[in-house]
Amino acid sequence: MTNRFRRGRVKPQVYQISGARRGVREDVNSRTRRYLVSMAIRTVCFVLAVVTNGWLRWVFIGAALVLPYLSVVFANAGRERTVDLPGADVSAQPPAIERSGP
């Protein structure tokens, strides 16, 4: 195959069959990426607040003031919750066996 065909290839869909969490590195990278995107939007809001006039300037200033708080809250929200699999509850007690005879 040539490189042209390899680049156009679609990745197969991967199905999750366990309740395992994503890796810590992948989780931290994802949260860092979201934080950086939010801070880039904040920077754009500051630049637009300087360039624009009127009520739109106040909208951009308000967004630039609120975005850092939201970014930190979402970045520090922690890891995703695990999905409980059926039958994976180790705290559940098995049903009691009843005696059927005399």
Q: Is residue 31 part of a domain?
A: yes
Successive 10-residue mean pLDDT values, the chain, 102 residues: 57 71 80 88 93 93 90 73 51 62 62
- Distance separating alpha carbons of residues 72 and 32, to the nearest angstrom: 10
Q: Is residue 86 part of a domain?
A: no
What's the domain count of the chain? 1
Q: Is residue 83 part of a domain?
A: no
Q: Is residue 41 part of a domain?
A: yes
Cα→Cα distances 2→10, 11, 12, 88, Å: 15, 17, 19, 46
User: What domain range includes position 43?
Assistant: 22-75
- Residue 85 is predicted with a pLDDT of 47
- Residue 63 is predicted with a pLDDT of 92
Q: Is residue 12 part of a domain?
A: no
Q: Is residue 84 part of a domain?
A: no
The DSSP output letter for 54 is T
